[in-house]
Amino acid sequence: MLSWIIENIIEEYEREFQNIRLLSYNDRMELMNRKNIKIAVAMSGGVDSSVAAGLLKEDGYNVIGVTMQLWSGNNSGERCCSVSNIEDAKKVAKQLGIPHHVLGLQEIFKREIIDNFISEYERGSTPNPCVRCNKLIKFGALLNKVRELGADNIATGHYARIKIFKGKYLLKKGVDKRKDQSYFLYSLNQEALSKTIFPLGDLTKQKVRKLAKKFKLKVADKEESQEICFVEDDFGKLLSPKEGKIVDLEGKVIGRHKGYQLYTIGQRRGLGLARKDPAYVLKIDPKSNILTVGDRGDVYGDDLIAGDLNWVSGDRTDAPTKVKAKIRYNSPGSEAEILPLSKEKVKVIFIKPQFAITPGQSVVFYDGDSVVGGGIIQ
């Protein structure tokens, strides 16, 4: 009944202003009694998720903190969900006066993230574990766990926004362009978005730091983690690299590599070639254990095939569609056209050639500042 009333209010806004009227998720929640809304904040022990919890607590919501334990052992580094970060999350929760729970998700994390990460590299692909973790762990397994704790919604410290228009949840870029994390969230569906809050979406990182100091949080000056959370030191220890040949575009052997799994498309460093011009990895062949290299200009491509698709609205694109597409997180995006090939695959043609289109990475489609969807480059 309540959802029906809210949808009618949204429609009245649209009729009144006769324009696109976007209501944020927090706007929608304003219509309800804050004390009756239980929000579980995914607390990593970093400044962003800590401030997200502080903001929601300050706004009067019934907040609990949850931290994922993703592996066993004594990982004491500064990576996401390490032992030290779990302790930091506990301390922040105590500061804020909110309950805190550590949720064991080691088994599913190993199976779906670590094992998948290794198998993808073994087959010559370069996966993005953060994208997969958001889909299957944070907004999958964790979301189910917090429901068991009686939480109505989950909140995170991501720099992204959720808006509602005509009953659909839109995933939009964060206001802080340098911190926008919508690229990593393209796999969220309508169900997940309906239960998710991004309190930092309208803030800059600078503002978040100031809020952390205002709340007197112990993590206010804590540096950000940049590494893959489950890779402690030597990346190669997770894999089984063996030396192999490096060949040029004519198939001539020009060097040796340390294991194809240690390289990715477009890589220049670490090849150890005595060559006048820098060489770049063009192709990885796991069956023959051969790397093919060439000049920088050879690394550019103007199209790709993507699978494992997700359309944020839930409506698949059945006709050629113009978008701005990003093939990596730090890419500015490029004008492109999506050509549907089947229910599971699309071809993406770029107006301008792209550097190092890499199998295993995600291509994400945007319409303005809204995420249309995305998929895995095949």
Burial class (CB in 10 A: 0-12, 13-18, 19+), 177: exposed
Return the SS3 of 191.
helix
Is beta strand 196-197 parallel, antiparallel or unpaired with respect to 23-24? unpaired
Q: Which is nearest to 299 in space by CA: 257, 340, 327, 261?
A: 327
92 in helix, strand or coil? helix
Q: Using an 8 Å Cβ cutoff, are 371 and 185 in contact?
A: yes
pLDDT of residue 1: 39
Domain 299-377 has CATH 1.10.10.60: no
Residue 274's pLDDT is 85
pLDDT at residue 91, as a whole number: 95
Beta strands in the chain (DSSP E): 23-24, 38-42, 62-69, 100-104, 153-155, 160-165, 168-173, 196-197, 244-247, 253-257, 280-285, 290-294, 300-311, 321-326, 334-340, 346-355, 362-367, 370-377
pLDDT recorded at residue 81: 61
pLDDT of residue 223: 85
**pLDDT value, residue 43:** 96
Closest CA to 267 of 244, 250, 292: 292
Catalytic amino acids?
Answer: 133, 229
pLDDT of residue 227: 64
* Location of structure tokens 């095939």: 305
CB atoms within 10 A of CB 2: 8
Query: Which residues are bridge partners to 170 per DSSP?
Result: 163
Gyration radius of the chain's alpha carbons? 22
CA atoms within 13 A on the CB side of 252: 4
pLDDT at 332: 87
Would you say the C-alpha torsion 116, 122, 123, 124 has a positive or negative sign?
positive
Q: In the prediction, which pLDDT does 80 show?
A: 59
**Domain range list for the chain:** 21-214, 241-294, 299-377
What is the identity of the amino acid at 177?
K
CATH number of 241-294: 2.30.30.280
Helix axes 205-214, 47-58, angle to 10 degrees: 60
State residue 79's pLDDT score: 54
pLDDT of residue 55: 96
Which tens digits make up the pLDDT trace of 203-231? 999 999 999 999 999 999 888 876 677 77
Q: What is the pLDDT of residues 86-128, one digit of tens each?
A: 999 999 999 999 999 999 999 999 999 999 999 999 999 999 9
Looking at the domain 21-214, which fold is it?
Rossmann fold (3.40.50)
Series of mean pLDDT values for 10-residue runs along the chain (378 residues): 43 40 54 74 96 95 94 55 85 96 94 94 94 95 94 95 92 96 97 95 96 94 76 71 96 96 94 91 97 97 97 90 95 95 95 97 97 97
In this prediction, residue 205 carries a pLDDT of 96
